[in-house]
Amino acid sequence: MATPSPHPPQLPQWQHQVRTLLNSPTGTQLCKTHAVSTETVFTVAVTHAHYAESKTGRSITASRHTIATRAGVSVSAVKRARRVLTALGVATELIRGRYLQKIESMAAEAHHGHRQFRAASVWALISPRTAVTTIAAPFTKSRKRSRATLRTTAYRAHIASLISPQTGGRGPLSPSGGFALQSLVFKFSPTHANTRAGRPKNPQRSAPRPIELQRTAAQLIDHIPALKTTKHIGQICDVLDRADIDPA
């Protein structure tokens, strides 16, 4: 029985350490010695991480056949990959697999419902001290909003301020602004304007509204809940059109 390293691995960092070690001259030579590719070893390593406890990297009790099936490799490849991982010091066998005694086999059959003759070995993932001190953690680039996203956000804020100016310290998206928003839409609605002028309520449009204008109106409704009670998106389109807002 082996004793794990005092450095329980954090699985994403452990995988990064394994990848770095496999790409090193030592890792490349070990893969050649055991006749297995670095990609196969890394795939088997990631599969072991899948079955390990997330906090300790221990308690990997999956059989070689189970690991081989999930990794998409042969059982022989799993054996050779384990030799490489052991030699690199990133994994260790805590309890060797063995044949079950008769009473153990009967108990296993009663528990699982099928016959079992072997107990799988128990493995643990470890981070070698040298890997912890020399291999930097994988760099995670913070996601910054693109210029297009920033422009879109500013554009939506501009539209919101035109449609519903803040009053009394309340934001344009606050529930109290709902009446003002709907009233403004109703005011600019061509249906309402036609009614005031004594024209029919549903005049036929000579041409469809520009798709960019419709898309902008849909995005505006999505971001301002108070506008969702508006019966037709065309009303929002007309408000934007009358405000001379360029949706392009």
H helices of 113-232, in order, are: 129-134, 147-163, 178-188, 190-197, 211-223
Tell me the two tokens of residue 142.
Answer: 């913070």
* Domain boundaries, given as residue ranges, for the chain: 11-134, 147-242
Name the pLDDT band for 172 (thresholds 50, 70, 90).
very low
Name the pLDDT band for 89 (thresholds 50, 70, 90).
very high
Instruction: Indicate the pTM of the whole model.
Output: 0.50
Helix (H) or strand (E) holding 203: none
Spatial CA neighbour of 164 closest among 97, 221, 216, 81: 221
Tell me the two tokens of residue 44.
Answer: 């088997």
In this structure, CATH architecture of domain 11-134: Orthogonal Bundle (1.10)
Q: For 44-48, 53-57, 113-117, 212-216, which range has the lowest pLDDT when averaged over its residues?
A: 113-117
Spatial CA neighbour of 189 closest among 133, 237, 247: 237
CA distance 230 to 18: 57
Q: For 101-110, 111-120, 157-166, 233-242, which range has the lowest pLDDT when averaged over its residues?
A: 157-166
Could you report the per-residue pLDDT of 107-138, keeping only the tens digit for each? 766 766 777 666 778 999 998 887 777 776 66
